């Protein structure tokens, strides 16, 4: 039997199914004592067990010849490891959610700033306190873009460059319109999804761009 290839679980360690069951039972019942968890897991001890032993008490051994104190120490260590692993996993989840919320918050701030900056360049009064105001400003920007197309003097790159130099801003009207499309064409349930990252939001914006480009072509055609 010494040369047998049959693997046996290491008693009291991670490979011992009794200890694994004891860990699961104790985690599910935090008020249960360690001794009760060991017994429920499958360890066999004498019928009368004191939960706290004195040094003068006789040594209590299980069916494998391991003392009760050693079993409790093993279970305590396994419980600590399991709790630490769970805490680390929860910390990673919380950190990921906080990062995603921060990215979306920064994106919304960027859109708000672009709304105010581009609108001020074009001489449009803005009220960005509500989504309806954003949509109204976006519509004005679309109309202004059409007027630039129909009036070459206003769409002169030199004239626009002078305006950007005076304000110190580099955002273009096209960038502004695209950001507005991402914010207001993405469904509300998507924007409120806590698991949505900035990359996911931008990908959805690219998908909407394909539809928007077709609509924009028809829109410009109507302006002519």
Condensed to tens digits (0 to 9), the pLDDT of residues 49-92 reads 655 555 555 677 877 888 888 888 889 899 888 888 888 888 88
Count of beta carbons in the 10 Å neighbourhood of residue 19: 24
Q: Residue 6: pLDDT band by 50, 70, 90 thresholds?
A: very low
Which pLDDT score, from 0 to 100, does residue 60 have? 79
Do residues 103 and 197 touch, judged by C-beta distance below 8 A? yes
Which pLDDT score, from 0 to 100, does residue 51 have? 55
Q: Tell me the chain's radius of gyration from C-alpha atoms.
A: 34
Between 48 and 110, the more confident residue is 110
Whole-number Cα distances in Å, 185 to 26, 99, 178, 204: 50, 23, 10, 9
Which pLDDT score, from 0 to 100, does residue 49 have? 63
Which pLDDT score, from 0 to 100, does residue 97 have? 83
CB proximity list for 72: less than 8 A, separation 6 or greater: 34, 35, 38
For the chain, give the mean pLDDT.
65
> Of the segments 52-61, 181-190, 191-200, which one has the largest average pLDDT value?
52-61
Which pLDDT score, from 0 to 100, does residue 140 have? 56
The pLDDT of 120-135, averaged and rounded, is 53
Residue 46 has pLDDT above 70, yes or no: yes
The pLDDT of 126-132, averaged and rounded, is 50
* pTM given for the model: 0.39
């Amino acid at each position: 039997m010494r040369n047998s290839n049959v693997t046996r679980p290491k008693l009291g360690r991670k490979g011992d199914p009794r200890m694994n069951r004891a860990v699961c039972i104790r985690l599910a019942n935090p008020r249960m004592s360690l001794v009760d968890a060991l017994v429920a897991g499958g360890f066999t001890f004498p019928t009368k067990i004191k939960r706290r032993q004195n040094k003068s008490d006789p040594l209590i051994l299980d069916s494998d010849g391991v003392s009760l104190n050693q079993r409790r120490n093993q279970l305590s260590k396994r419980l600590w490891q399991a709790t630490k692993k769970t805490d680390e996993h929860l910390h990673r989840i919380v950190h990921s959610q906080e990062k995603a919320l921060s990215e979306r918050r920064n994106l919304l701030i960027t859109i708000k700033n672009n709304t105010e900056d581009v609108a001020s360049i074009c001489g449009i009064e803005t009220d960005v306190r509500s989504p309806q105001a954003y949509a109204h400003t976006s519509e004005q920007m679309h109309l202004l873009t059409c007027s630039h197309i129909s009036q070459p003097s206003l769409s002169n790159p030199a004239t626009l460059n002078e305006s950007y130099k005076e304000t110190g801003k580099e955002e273009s009207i096209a960038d502004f319109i695209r950001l507005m499309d991402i914010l207001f064409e993405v469904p509300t349930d998507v924007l409120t999804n806590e698991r949505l990252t900035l990359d996911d939001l931008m990908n959805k914006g690219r998908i909407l761009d394909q539809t928007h480009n077709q609509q924009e072509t028809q829109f410009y055609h109507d302006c002519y």
